[in-house]
């Protein structure tokens, strides 16, 4: 999976149906790829339809967020 906004639709033969928009309060999915943390969450600029924002977690920002009370 690469960084960016991923959009989706269901394709069956010549038919294409748009997937529904993701809820805003959906918890981000988190995983590790090659020992680096990644996440996917609903895209803010998704418009109407399915859109995920996929990116690597900023390690410096994550560490400072953990250290600050």
pLDDT tens by residue, the chain, 69 residues? 688 999 989 999 999 999 998 887 899 999 998 888 999 999 887 677 899 999 998 878 778 878 877
C-alpha 56 chain-centroid distance = 10
| Maximum C-alpha span of the chain | 54
pTM of the model: 0.70
Residues 26, 23: Cα–Cα separation, whole Å: 6
Give the domain extent around 41: 4-67
- How many independent structural domains does the chain possess? 1
């Amino acid at each position: 999976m690469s960084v960016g906004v991923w959009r989706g639709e269901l394709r069956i033969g010549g038919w294409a149906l748009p997937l529904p928009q993701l809820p805003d309060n959906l918890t981000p999915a988190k995983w590790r790829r090659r020992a680096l943390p990644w996440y996917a969450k609903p895209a803010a600029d998704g418009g109407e339809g399915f859109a995920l924002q996929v990116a690597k977690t900023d390690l410096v920002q994550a560490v400072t967020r953990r250290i600050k009370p």
